[in-house]
Amino acid sequence: MRTDNSSSLQETQPILNAALTYLRLGFSVIPVRIYPDPDKPGKAQKVPAVPSWIPYQERFPTEEEVRGWFDGKEDLGVGIVTGRLSGVLVVDFDGLDGENILQEREIPLTPMARTGGGGYHVLFRYPDGQEIRNSTRLLPGVHIRGEGGFFVASPSRYPNGRRYQWEHPPDKVPLADAPAWLLELCGKEDGGKESRSPRLNPALILQGVPEGMRNETLFREAARFRYLNLRKEEAEIIILDIAGRCLPPFPKREALTVVASAYRYPPGAKVLPDQGHGSTFPREAIRGIAGRFADLYSQYLEAPWSFWALNFLTCLGNVIADRVTLESAINPQPRLYTVLLGESADERKSESQRQTLALFEEALPDDFRPCLGVGSAEGLAERLKEHPKTLLVFDEFKSFVNKASIDASVLLPCVNSLFDGNAYHSQTKAHSIGIKAAYLSIMAASTVDTYARMWTPAFTDIGFLNRLWLVPDKAERRFALPRPIPDLERQRIKSEIISLVESLRARWVLRMTPEACACFDEWYAHVPRSLFSKRLDTYGHRLMILLSIQEGQEEVTGDIAERVCSLLNWQLGVRQEHDPIDAENKIARMEEAIRRALVRGPISPRSLQRAVHYERAGIFAWNQAVGNLKAAKEILWDLKRKVYILCPRE
């Protein structure tokens, strides 16, 4: 397929010149950051390097904007916005499956590029009178970029060092019309304008959804209805009809519960069963300095990207806690109580803490004074008297829980109160504690299993757990001996931190745009009222401040509010998944752990044992718990598939 065409778009051209050329060809362009995907070795993630790229789906950037983005910044990639504005529809043929389909299908002469990852981008004229959105499910290895999408173009560099390279450049080969087979496939997807209504699997519905697939199938359809903003009453009618056709019929009350679960989320939220448990961190929500910091450090160290990003925001929030707020009667402060959760030491929780603290201490020696633990409320009061802005750091959060659990200690109510305000007072016969004008933040870490089991009723009764922002994630073993982080890049991040804090010497009050208010109001109206959602709105206020400030925004935009809402929805699922187990004995705990593991779907015995860490409770507790649940008909053993299944509650 490769040709010898030379053009102004060859990889020897600087990024800036290529971006200007694309703009003159009638393409809307944006700057893009490309970095390794920590969850998919050999793959890359591409994230717009502007606070919001939504405006450039509706208008072309000016030449001045393009020069400002790319001039002297060859580390960026250039993205071309797809859809009606640019007049281009792009098909990404990825991997062996995609390349085979490319060879088999009829493809007219049209602009085509070899991607940095080894696939192909094929460009077609965007069809008139049809709306085609992004899709990754057309055919194996085939992805569509249409309305609301973008693709990375030459001469951008992939993490493996290879550049995207044109084979048929768009300044030499005109866009061809999309072939009929492609338009037919696109018409079947949710993105097609003619198929914007909810879409079911007719064959599956008519035959009846079999047992073991009923709950997941109904939830997926209900989630799709919510995404499309179908009225809840209409969704209930359709779901009840599907439930009645299931084999055996799915209970009516349970079906309505499924709809209610899907409709907890705002319209347009992409909610699937696995996402409901908060499993995937919405990485695209965090940009700005925090995103660049996480990009850099996650390239050289094994801690997950989410750990770096939230550690950064926690440190920054403590530094600027008294300098910026939202235009509101409650004057929120951007302080976080962050807890990193990992399965074991392999997740590099402590390393991410140490590295982040070191950077902030170097950048802000006078403003940033972390405290590595505290033993009592009296000790905390003395610390806050000397340093009103204090970040408490615990590499093992259980140490704090143990100290706060000591009889007669008021450390727990003290720290609890300082999340919501800046003062605490306690008077006893023997002691008097008075704290005022204090700004407390927490950066902590724990294993998942310890977090689930270390709490006492004192913590749950006072509502301490819903004051925590949980960040569960997993690290990949990538570096036997991590390379040093390039000092130039590290100094650049440090300089950005210093400049940001210097700009906030005078107190800032951020206003929310009407779009931001509407977005957050919509989320607030639809978020479920439960123990898991308490104080999520408080974190929403704080995160809107943090994201806006570190992205250089002077107000909270609609895009920032939307990204904050995605973080809040994720946190809601995380809280549900990691809600501490409250049981009186090992068998009851094991039963509850099994139920929670099976919520995600059928699991083989060995995988289930690993998920619940059965070896810690012992084989007797495991056997007894499984037997109890089977006897109560809460779980079933599928002999054919050799998996355990959670029975729906009637």
Q: What is the mean pLDDT of residues 196-209?
A: 53
pLDDT 10s digits, 481-491:
889 999 999 99
Give the pLDDT band of residue 547 (cuts 50, 70, 90).
Answer: very high
Average pLDDT, the chain: 83
Between 614 and 440, the higher pLDDT residue: 440
Task: Specify the higher pLDDT residue, 43 or 568.
Answer: 568
DSSP 15-76: HHHHHHHHHHTT--EEEEEEEE-TTSTT-EEEEESSS--GGGGTSPPPHHHHHHHHTT-TTS
Determine the Cα angle at 186 with ends 184 and 190, to 5°. Answer: 130
Q: Each residue of 583-609: pLDDT tens digit?
A: 445 677 888 889 888 887 888 888 898
> Under CATH, to which class is 283-577 assigned?
alpha beta
More confident: 548 or 199: 548
Quick check: 467 pLDDT over 80?
Answer: yes
pLDDT at site 456: 84
Q: Which residue has the higher pLDDT, 32 or 631?
A: 32
Determine the average pLDDT of the residues in 47-65.
84
- Report which of residues 135 and 11 the model is more confident about: 135
pLDDT over threshold 70, residue 137:
no
Place 181 in a pLDDT band, splitting at 50, 70 and 90.
confident
Q: Where are the domains of the chain?
A: 15-194, 202-263, 283-577, 586-646
pLDDT for the residue 241: 86
What is the rounded CA–CA span in Å between residue 179 and residue 476?
42
Both tokens assigned to 224: 């799709």
Task: Check pLDDT > 90 for residue 536.
Answer: yes
Quote the percentage of the chain above a pLDDT of 90: 38
Q: What is the pLDDT of residue 2?
A: 33
Model confidence band, residue 643 (pLDDT cutoffs 50, 70, 90): confident
Give the pLDDT confidence score for residue 428 in this predicted structure: 73
Q: Which of 89-98, 320-329, 362-371, 618-627 has the lowest mean pLDDT?
A: 618-627
Average pLDDT of the segment spanning 524-535: 82
Question: ∠206-211-217 over CA atoms, to 5°?
Answer: 65
Contact 628, 621 (CB under 8 A): no
Buried b (16+ CB within 10 A) or exposed e, 352-369: bbebbbebbeebbeebbb
Q: What is the pLDDT of residue 206?
A: 60
Give the pLDDT score at 546: 97
Q: What is the pLDDT of residue 19?
A: 92
**Structure-model confidence comparison of residues 613 and 327, the more confident one:** 327
Helix axis angle, 349-363 to 487-502, nearest 10°: 60
Predicted structure pTM score: 0.54
From CA 297, how far away is CA 412, in angstroms rounded?
34
Residue 210's pLDDT band (cuts 50, 70, 90)? low
Lowest mean pLDDT among 174-183, 220-229, 536-545: 220-229
pLDDT digits (tens, 9 = 90+) for 301-355: 989 999 999 999 999 999 999 999 999 999 999 999 999 998 766 667 889 999 9
Which pLDDT does position 443 carry in this prediction? 97
- The larger pLDDT score, comparing residue 447 to residue 531, is at 447
Among 29-38, 148-157, 179-188, 373-382, which is the least confidently predicted range?
179-188
DSSP string, 339-406: EEEESSGGG-HHHHHHHHHHHHHHH-TTT--EE---S-HHHHHHHHHH-SEEEEEESSHHHHHHHHTS
Q: What is the pLDDT of residue 204?
A: 55
Pairing assessment for the beta strands 88-93 and 120-125 based on DSSP bridges? antiparallel
Q: How far is CA 20 from the centre of its chain?
A: 32
Least confident of 186-190, 414-418, 426-430, 506-510: 186-190
Q: What is the dihedral of CA 32, 35, 38, 44, to 10 degrees?
A: 70
Residue predicted with more confidence, 645 or 191: 645
Average pLDDT over residues 262-285: 58
d(CA 221, CA 250): 14
Element (H, E) at 143: strand 142-145
Predicted confidence at residue 44, as pLDDT, reads 83
Q: CA–CA separation, 606 vs 623, rounded Å?
A: 13
Beta bridge partners of 157: 163
pLDDT tens readout for residues 364-413: 999 998 999 888 999 999 999 999 999 999 999 999 999 998 877 899 99
Q: Is the pLDDT of residue 616 over 70?
A: yes
What is the percent of the chain with per-residue pLDDT over 70, rounded to a whole number? 87
Check residues 260 and 120 and name the one with the higher pLDDT: 120
pLDDT score of 267 = 62
Q: With a cut of 70, say whether residue 49 has pLDDT above it.
A: yes
**Each residue's pLDDT tens digit, 402-445:** 999 887 789 999 999 999 999 999 887 677 899 999 999 999 99
